Amino acid sequence: MRLAIVTEAFGERPLDAVLGWLADRAPAIADLELGSGGYAPTNHCERPLLLRDTAARERWQREIEERGFRIAALNAWGNPLHPDRELAQRHDSDLRETILLAAQLGVDRVLALAGCPGDIRPRFAAGGWLPYLEGEHDRQWSEVGAPYWTELAEFARSEHPQLVICVELHPGTLVYNLETFSELAVLGDNLAANVDPSHFFWMQMDPLAVVARLPRVAYAHLKDVVFDRHNLALNGLLDHRWPAAAPWRFATVGRGRDASWWRAFLDALEARGVEAAAIEHEDPLVAVEEGVLEAAAVVAPPAEAAA
3-state percent breakdown (helix, strand, coil) of the chain, nearest 5: 45, 15, 35
Task: List the end-to-end C-alpha distance of the chain, in Å, as a whole number.
Answer: 17
Given a cut of 80, whether residue 185 has pLDDT beyond it is: yes
pLDDT digits (tens, 9 = 90+) for 44-96: 999 999 999 999 999 999 999 999 999 999 999 999 999 999 999 999 999 99
Gap between the Cα atoms of 295 and 264, Å rounded: 15
Domain boundaries, the chain: 2-305
pLDDT at 263: 97
Across the chain, what does the average pLDDT equal? 94
Q: Rounded to 5 degrees, what angle do the CA atoms 77, 79, 85 make? A: 140
Gap between the Cα atoms of 214 and 209, Å rounded: 9
Could you tell me if 213 and 178 are in contact, meaning their C-beta atoms sit under 8 angstroms apart?
yes
pLDDT digits (tens, 9 = 90+) for 127-169: 667 777 788 999 999 999 999 999 999 999 999 999 999 999 9
pLDDT at 306: 47
**What would be the CATH architecture of the domain defined by 2-305?**
Alpha-Beta Barrel (3.20)
Could you tell me if 96 and 155 are in contact, meaning their C-beta atoms sit under 8 angstroms apart?
yes
pLDDT digits (tens, 9 = 90+) for 89-130: 999 999 999 999 999 999 999 999 999 999 888 988 876 677
Q: What's the mean pLDDT in 292-301?
A: 94
Choose among 73, 90, 72: nearest CA to 81.
Answer: 90
Choose among 57, 188, 60, 53: nearest CA to 112.
Answer: 188
Given a cut of 80, whether residue 26 has pLDDT beyond it is: yes
Choose among 157, 214, 220: nearest CA to 189.
Answer: 157
Given a cut of 90, whether residue 240 has pLDDT beyond it is: no
pTM higher than 0.85? yes
